[in-house]
């Protein structure tokens, strides 16, 4: 387990915000819901959790900048540190009563992700990682799966929703190519958790396009600290700017990337 001062700060903020999400999840039918776009919902719970995270992290690390899903970019006096915050990844799952959602916190120093936390209040599972310190689920050290044969793999993906209909043709082409070579496919609806499942060895690999930095910042370091490989979906190394991701162990990452390119 990582017991650094930084991780203590991140953990405390996530647990506090998580208590509110857990309460709201139990009363999901009473939530006030507004619509951001077709198939893309945001709840009052989302905004409340973001407020708690911003307040707690600002208090503990004054001057750090923020990139938040709901509030956007907040400049800090300390230009070398930025928090990437998704207060409720998997909002649609949350609003439909599916316990597959999470708080995601990533910290970048001089542009490099150095720490990540993904917490699911519904299951009380907390994934943490810090550069050079490994990745953990609760108290268990994480390692990516060791499978090499694509026919034996379980691969996660993201499916573009109705509001991203223009992405449907490319996704269907990529899905068709990947399905022809892997054991099976899963789509759970929360990219931050998907990436943690790669780090934990539940998934052998994962790919998705059209993501935001707060969706993947924590997951990137989670996979790297679990011994995995991660790039954007085109094989580049600027996932936060490109908004896409491809991950797995050395062999699976390489093969999955080749299938996506072939599509």
The encoded tokens of residue 89 equal: 């990844």
Beta bridge partners of 247: 206, 230
Which of 90, 228, 200, 91 shows the shortest CA–CA distance to 142? 200
Reported as a single tens digit per residue, the pLDDT across 117-168 is 999 999 999 999 999 999 999 999 999 999 999 999 999 999 999 999 999 9
Q: Would you kindly state where each structural domain of the chain is located, as residue ranges? A: 5-141, 150-262
Q: How far apart are CA 71 and CA 46, in angstroms?
A: 11
The proportion of the chain whose per-residue pLDDT surpasses 90, expressed as a percent, equals: 87
Query: Fold match between 5-141 and 150-262?
Result: no
Which residue's entry shows tokens 């691969």? 155
5-141 CATH fold: Fructose-1,6-Bisphosphatase; Chain A, domain 1 (3.30.540)
The proportion of the chain whose per-residue pLDDT surpasses 70, expressed as a percent, equals: 95
How far, in Å, are 31, 140, 225, 226 from residue 229 at the CA level?
39, 20, 9, 9
Q: Which strands form 140-141's sheet, in the order they lie side by side?
A: 72-74, 64-68, 78-89, 102-109, 112-120, 125-130, 134-137, 140-141
pLDDT band at 43 (very low <50, low <70, confident <90, very high): confident
* Beta-strand pair 112-120/245-248: unpaired
Could you tell me the pTM of the whole model? Answer: 0.95
- The whole-angstrom distance between residue 52's C-alpha and the CA centroid of its chain comes to 19
Across the range 57-79, mean pLDDT stands at 96
Work out whether the CA dihedral 189, 192, 195, 201 comes out positive or negative.
negative
Across the range 99-117, mean pLDDT stands at 97
Give the DSSP letter of residue 142.
P
The encoded tokens of residue 190 equal: 């929360």
Q: Which residue has the higher pLDDT, 38 or 82?
A: 82
Return the CATH number of the domain spanning residue range 150-262.
3.40.190.80
Q: How buried is 139 (Cβ within 10 angstroms: 0-12 exposed, 13-18 middle, 19+ buried)? A: exposed
pLDDT value at position 78? 96
């Amino acid at each position: 387990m990582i017991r650094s001062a930084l991780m203590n700060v991140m953990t405390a903020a996530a647990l506090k915000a998580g208590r509110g999400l857990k309460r709201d999840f139990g009363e999901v039918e009473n939530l006030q819901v507004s619509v951001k776009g077709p198939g893309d919902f945001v709840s009052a719970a989302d905004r409340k959790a973001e407020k708690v995270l911003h307040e707690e992290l600002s208090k503990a690390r004054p001057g750090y900048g923020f990139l938040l899903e709901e509030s956007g970019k907040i400049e800090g006096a300390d230009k070398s540190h930025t928090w990437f915050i998704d207060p409720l990844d998997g909002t649609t799952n949350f609003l439909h009563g599916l316990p597959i959602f999470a708080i995601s916190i990533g910290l970048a120093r001089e542009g490099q992700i150095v720490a990540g936390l993904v917490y699911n209040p519904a299951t009380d599972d907390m994934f943490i990682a810090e550069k050079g310190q490994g990745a953990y689920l609760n108290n268990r050290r994480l390692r990516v799966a060791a499978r090499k044969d694509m026919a034996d793999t379980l691969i996660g993906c993201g499916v573009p929703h109705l509001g991203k209909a223009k992405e449907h043709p490319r996704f269907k082409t990529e899905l068709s190519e990947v399905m022809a070579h892997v054991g099976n496919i899963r789509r759970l609806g929360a990219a931050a958790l998907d990436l943690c499942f790669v780090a934990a060895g539940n998934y052998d690999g994962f790919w998705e396009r059209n993501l935001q930095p707060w969706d993947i910042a924590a997951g990137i370091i989670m996979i790297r600290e679990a011994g995995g490989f991660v790039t954007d979906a085109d094989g580049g190394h600027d996932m936060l700017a490109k908004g896409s991701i491809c991950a797995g162990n050395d062999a699976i990452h390489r093969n999955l990337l080749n299938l996506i390119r072939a599509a």
